[in-house]
Amino acid sequence: MKPAIPANTVERLSLYRRLLEAWLEKGTTSLYSHQIASMACVTPAQVRRDLMAIGYTGSPSKGYSVDALEESIGLFLGSDRVRKIALVGMGNLGRALTTYFTSRVPRFRMAAAFDTDPRKTGRVIAGCMVYGIEEIPRIIPAEGIRTAVLALPADSAQEMADRLVNAGIKGILNYAPVPLRLPADVFLENRDVTASLEKVAFFSGQPREGS
């Protein structure tokens, strides 16, 4: 099933929502599309298109109600309620991501982590229970988790992704430095840290150190 809304639109909506939350906290009640656009570093036309895509129509003369708009985007994204996430790989990055979501983004809950290291399994790390990977087929359906984060070395990423998909995972955020082969109905977002840094370094036109 192809999603009807582009992935980039969803990413921008997520950003708008976080900007709106910050405005709400400051007591702002209404905003024009050009103000949202300015903070989000996109054009006002883009903001209006994105909001139309989720069926939201503000009052162009008085601006959008910050409160109502934040709620509408939240409802659309499903982020009005807590979502359970699984993590595979409780290394440095896995721990940093878990700590980050637990402390800063309460609408995501790292409900279960999996690791092959017996020194980590059976313990709570960064607020999240760490299970052995053989528990994936039991825990994922039992917890009703459909989204997973992979924070693993390249060599085990595909195998772990296959196990997750077999257990019912429908979306993977992949920090492993390797592409993954997944069924068409599983949403994949690759966030290869090395490729990102190599790209930025390339376009920085960086002079090179002597070898």
Does 146 contact its own copies by CB under 8 A?
yes
Between CA 136 and CA 156 the distance in angstroms is 15
Tell me whether residue 177 is exposed, middle or buried, using C-beta atoms within 10 angstroms of its C-beta: 0 to 12, 13 to 18, 19 or more. middle
DSSP E strands: which ranges in 89-144? 108-115, 123-125, 128-132
Helix (H, G, I), strand (E, B), or coil: what is residue 117? coil
> Which one, of 69, 199, 91, 100, lies nearest residue 150 by Cα?
91
Q: Which residues in the 167-206 window bind its own copies by CB under 8 A?
A: 169-173, 177, 179-181, 187, 189, 191-206
Stretch that binds its own copies, among 34-42, 64-72, 115-123, 127-135 (CB under 8 A): 34-42
Of 60 and 197, the one with the shorter C-beta distance to its own copies is: 197
Work out which of 82, 122, 123, 166 binds its own copies, going by CB under 8 A: 82
- Smallest distance, its own copies to C-beta of residue 83, A: 5
Does 108 contact its own copies by CB under 8 A?
yes
Work out which of 48, 95, 120, 163 binds its own copies, going by CB under 8 A: 95
Strand 171-174 versus strand 147-150 pairing type: parallel
Work out which of 45, 60, 80, 159 binds its own copies, going by CB under 8 A: 80
Work out which of 61, 92, 106, 119 binds its own copies, going by CB under 8 A: 92
- Smallest distance, its own copies to C-beta of residue 122, A: 23
Helix (H, G, I), strand (E, B), or coil: what is residue 28? coil
Between CA 211 and CA 208 the distance in angstroms is 8
Does 81 contact its own copies by CB under 8 A?
yes
